[in-house]
Amino acid sequence: MNFHQVAGVLRGMSERLPGYKGLALKVLLDVGAEIGDLMRITKGSVVFEGILIPRSEYSDDRHIVIKNRSGYNVGIEITPETRVERIGAEMKPTFIPPPPPEQKPGLPRVTILSTGGTIASRVDYRTGAVRPVISASDLYSIVPELADIAVIDAEILFSVFSEDLTPKHWSAMAEAVARHIVGGAQGVVIAHGTDTMGYSAAALSFALQSLPVPVILVGAQKSEDRPSSDAAMNLIGAVLAASKAPFAEVAVAMHETPSDESVVLHRGTKVRKCHTSRRDAFKTINAKPLARVMNNEIIMLTDDYKPRNPERKITLKANFDERAALIKFYPGMNPKIIDWHVSEGYRGIVLEGTGLGHVRRECFPAIRRAIESGVIVGMTSQCIWGRVNMNVYSNGRDLLAMGVIPLGDMLAETALVKMMWCLAQSSDPEEVKRLLLTNVADEFSSRSVETIEAPKTIVSS
Amino acid sequence: MNFHQVAGVLRGMSERLPGYKGLALKVLLDVGAEIGDLMRITKGSVVFEGILIPRSEYSDDRHIVIKNRSGYNVGIEITPETRVERIGAEMKPTFIPPPPPEQKPGLPRVTILSTGGTIASRVDYRTGAVRPVISASDLYSIVPELADIAVIDAEILFSVFSEDLTPKHWSAMAEAVARHIVGGAQGVVIAHGTDTMGYSAAALSFALQSLPVPVILVGAQKSEDRPSSDAAMNLIGAVLAASKAPFAEVAVAMHETPSDESVVLHRGTKVRKCHTSRRDAFKTINAKPLARVMNNEIIMLTDDYKPRNPERKITLKANFDERAALIKFYPGMNPKIIDWHVSEGYRGIVLEGTGLGHVRRECFPAIRRAIESGVIVGMTSQCIWGRVNMNVYSNGRDLLAMGVIPLGDMLAETALVKMMWCLAQSSDPEEVKRLLLTNVADEFSSRSVETIEAPKTIVSS
């Protein structure tokens, strides 16, 4: 037995039933169940059927978790009236990919880098885990349309949920993109979990300068083996953009509306996930999106973009300094939160203030102390839309006078990423401040463009 | 001389020129300027004219600040080529309110409580400060339409920028509302700064239970003495709603669109400031707004509301426990931030996670420690729209297994306010958790209602 198995036995867990303990373990052992078996669990008149999946080390001992036919995991509490049956042996995944179509010569070369997340994964029915499926032939098999668009080169960079990605992963992504572009890729697609795809898109926008070809991040809001997934359409849109879009920038490709009409390309510094589950969750904020993909055509939505130019040499500035924090202000916020960050050695703080860029006066002495100890403090707004203007009210003017840097219409998330990036570019605070206020990758809108969210209401009862 | 005057002299400041020091003070003394004087400042071919206003104690010594004709403050740096002239003596406010119209008998009695902010203020040209103007006769003078709607009773509660309001102010507001309702008000309006009006609206929604009449918060995005202010129309809409709306709930009254067509009434727990400066900055999230005020009529937009009933007895639960924090997660966030809050004695933490309710696994041990020390940890989403669902991915399931409480479609800001309120209602953690998950004031949407922000784009060049 290895260490984990020993530890499992010590914690009363079965190797065949990882994560289960106590009552739940006993009930499952009684019926001879193993992970992957088809189970029927009856509570009064309610019947659950599905495949037994493992639990985590943090689980309680009262629930059994099965994956139902729709692919959702259901946790069922064991009560005295619960009946547990094993009705079938371990299920194998039913999907066997067809053989990949032949690659067509003469098409552009596009690299797909996989980082994890819903889009690049299939749920493994045996373990309940998300499993990356991204060899080039996997992709052609699952989305055969890709073979008509590009010759795909695929590489798994990592396989993590996007909330677990860190600035170090951003650097690795940027380096891999640069390597593939130098190697001749005519466009790069990055399959990415949607949770933090906006942050990564901003990071790559700063790290990859003087891009010769487009770099397109793409995600999915439902995993590819669920009914009505958006993964294939988003991926086709992303590969189309990578292979033939006229711009050479970092963008995010996702559904434009809840229907399957179009994929929209958002500029990497201006995009934000604005819905937990809808396909059109990503929105461009304070700007117009770059382009739309519809009927296999790319329609530019702005004239203001950096054109593709394969002759251009890429400049890689892939470092980020993690000693930067995002602090969202709220009424009554304790100023000691700011002092704590200073004492922990943070070099930059992005405040997500209220309205035009405010925090309570109680925080002013702590902000002043932070600035006096050399910490760069920037201001953004939790309103999301609009821009900070710290000249209107005296609280804002006082913050400006202390040296707080107003970050215009930059998204708070983009501002944090930019702070981490600027801090890694220079150790001179004046240079960091200058860079922060320089429009590096259209993170500041050059014109007054505003996106309104009109209150269209859908009632689905 | 009082203490502040002595301190001013010691810091080299003039009593007649508060906030000015060093070079700026010298230049102003040289031309005999005083606060309130009309100044002309010339830099090359650029000429600034406006009224000299004071600076704050945090100011530098190189800028002179004047308020220009449009009411905006402009800071002008003194350089060798800057010419400073005093071209007029101290300006008095030019606006002299007309005599108030007569009060009409038989109209409903409405109380207006003023807390500060743009709506309840006029900029004092002499000091640059925001000055509350809210005796009943002030109001009738400035907005004479009110006299046709209601008999107004006005009280100044406080006069602070809303970012400086704390949970203690929420308690004071709730108590004042209850006092006026018990005293016979048929509706209450609260004039409030817009920055944290959403938080206060949520707080009052929890604190004021079993309301007999409506309580309407109202703000303005431009101060009333600027051209094209939204203050008067919002105030008229709020007083109309307070005097005759059929619901008895806490709501926010603001412009529905950038034009002056309608005022919309947002439910207090579902409203958020979503733009730094637009008149239609406030949006109802994950629900439909309560009602619309148009052509002096109130049109209900939902059937699902608590009806007005003057016989009902109000229940006041006005306490909030400030030992609750909102922590917005970002990639690479240091788990020690969570530990710090625990060590500082916080009793509740609302996480603003990614997507369906996630944070990185690195934070799990700290979250577990927090929960084990009795801290209540709730999860919301930084997506803003949609609802957390922590059963879909293993990171979410592990957080649930640790005891993190999924807060559905509640706004992060509302969740923080509710956490503070729940903690003040009970010292029993189980009761606090039960309350957190109870739908107290429609903070959870009862049906699946989703508001989309359609990307309507306005380009104003």
Q: Which chain A residues have a beta carbon less than 8 Å from that of B50? A: none
Q: Contact B397/A274, CB-based, under 8 Å?
A: no
Active-site residue, from A67, A273, A283, A418? A273
| Token pair recorded at residue A270 | 């201006």
Active-site residue, from A195, A230, A321, A442? A195
- Those of residues 351-370 in A touching chain B at CB distance below 8 A are 352-362, 364, 368
Report the residue of B163, B303, B336, B450 to disrupt the A interface, i.e. the one with the largest count of A CBs within 10 Å: B163
Complex prediction ipTM: 0.81
- Residue A457 falls in the annotated catalytic set: no
Active-site residue, from B195, B230, B321, B409? B195
Query: How many other β-carbons are positioned within 10 Å of the β-carbon of residue B298?
Result: 20
Q: Contact A448/B456, CB-based, under 8 Å?
A: no
Q: Contact A459/B391, CB-based, under 8 Å?
A: no
Q: What is the pLDDT of residues A272-319, one digit of tens each?
A: 999 999 999 999 999 999 999 999 999 999 999 999 999 999 999 999
- By Cβ distance, the residue of A164, A275, A356 closest to B360 is A164
- Residue B315 falls in the annotated catalytic set: no
Of A111, A137, A158, A171, which is closest to residue A320 (Cα–Cα)?
Answer: A171
At residue B72, the pLDDT reads 67
Q: Contact A354/B55, CB-based, under 8 Å?
A: no
Looking at residue A440, its amino acid is V
Pair type for strands B130-132 and B121-123: antiparallel
| Token pair recorded at residue B328 | 């917005």
At residue A410, the pLDDT reads 98
As a whole number of angstroms, the distance between CA A291 and CA A304 comes to 11
Q: Contact A56/B387, CB-based, under 8 Å?
A: no
Q: Contact B277/A362, CB-based, under 8 Å?
A: no
Of B204, B301, B291, B196, which is closest to residue B253 (Cα–Cα)?
Answer: B291
In terms of Cβ atoms closer than 10 Å to its own Cβ (0-12, 13-18, 19+), residue A142 is buried
Report the Cα–Cα distance between both ends of chain B, in Å, rounded: 52
Question: What pLDDT tens digit does each residue of chain A (461 aa) get?
Answer: 333 333 333 334 456 787 788 889 889 999 989 888 889 999 888 898 888 887 766 677 888 988 777 666 778 889 888 999 999 877 554 444 556 667 778 899 999 998 876 665 555 544 455 555 566 677 777 788 898 999 999 888 988 889 999 999 999 999 999 999 999 999 999 999 999 999 999 999 999 999 999 999 999 886 545 556 788 899 999 999 999 999 999 999 999 998 889 999 999 999 999 999 999 999 999 999 999 999 999 999 999 999 999 999 999 999 999 999 999 999 999 999 999 999 999 999 999 999 999 999 999 999 999 999 999 999 999 999 999 999 888 889 899 999 999 999 999 999 999 999 999 999 999 999 999 999 999 999 965 444 434 333 333 32
Angstroms from A141 CA to nearest CA on chain B: 25
Angstroms from B186 CA to nearest CA on chain A: 29
Query: What dihedral angle (degrees, nearest 10) is formed by the CA atoms of A24, A29, A31, A33?
Result: 90
Q: Contact B334/A355, CB-based, under 8 Å?
A: no
Angstroms from B385 CA to nearest CA on chain A: 4
As a whole number of angstroms, the distance between CA B298 and CA B290 comes to 10
At residue A461, the pLDDT reads 28
- Residue A284 falls in the annotated catalytic set: no
| Token pair recorded at residue B30 | 């040289």
At residue A110, the pLDDT reads 96
Q: Which chain A residues have a beta carbon less than 8 Å from that of B330? A: 199, 325-326, 413, 416
At residue B297, the pLDDT reads 95
- Those of residues 52-71 in B touching chain A at CB distance below 8 A are 55-56, 58-60, 65
- Those of residues 370-399 in B touching chain A at CB distance below 8 A are 381-389, 391-395, 397-398
| CB contact at 8 A, B359 and B398 | no
As a whole number of angstroms, the distance between CA A235 and CA A363 comes to 46
- Those of residues 191-210 in A touching chain B at CB distance below 8 A are 194-196, 199-200
Chain A and chain B share a number of CB contacts under 8 A equal to 287
At residue B449, the pLDDT reads 43
Q: Contact A385/B330, CB-based, under 8 Å?
A: no
Q: Which residues contact A44 (CB under 8 A, 6 or more apart)?
A: A81
- What is the set of domains in chain A, with CATH numbers? 3-88 (2.30.30.520), 109-316 (3.40.50.1170), 324-436 (3.40.50.40)
At residue B120, the pLDDT reads 58
What's the angle, vertex CA B162, arms to CA B377 and CA B118, rounded to 5?
Answer: 150
The Cα-based distances of B286 to A46, A276, B384 in angstroms read: 30, 11, 9
Q: Which chain A residues have a beta carbon less than 8 Å from that of B199? A: 330-331
- Residue A276 falls in the annotated catalytic set: no
- Within an 8 Å CB–CB cutoff, is residue B288 touching chain A? yes
Q: Contact B402/A58, CB-based, under 8 Å?
A: yes
| Token pair recorded at residue B127 | 């000091």
As a whole number of angstroms, the distance between CA B38 and CA B66 comes to 9
Q: What is the pLDDT of residues A355-398, one digit of tens each?
A: 999 999 999 999 999 999 999 999 999 999 999 999 888 889 89
Residues of chain B with pLDDT below 50 are 1-13, 93-96, 125-127, 224, 448-461
Q: Which residues contact B356 (CB under 8 A, 6 or more apart)?
A: A276, A277, B381, B386, B388, B389, B390, B392, B393, B396
At residue A103, the pLDDT reads 74
- Those of residues 174-193 in A touching chain B at CB distance below 8 A are none
Active-site residue, from A118, A284, A380, A414? A118
As a whole number of angstroms, the distance between CA B29 and CA B298 comes to 56
Instruction: Walk across the sheet containing A82-88 and list its strands.
Output: A73-77, A63-67, A46-52, A38-43, A82-88
Q: Which chain B residues have a beta carbon less than 8 Å from that of A449? A: 457-460
Q: Which chain A residues have a beta carbon less than 8 Å from that of B73? A: 391-392, 397
- By Cβ distance, the residue of A274, A344, A459 closest to B453 is A274
- Within an 8 Å CB–CB cutoff, is residue A122 touching chain B? no
Q: Contact B56/A361, CB-based, under 8 Å?
A: no
| Token pair recorded at residue A210 | 């003087």
Q: What is the pLDDT of residues B6-49, one digit of tens each?
A: 333 334 445 678 778 889 998 999 998 988 888 999 988 889 88
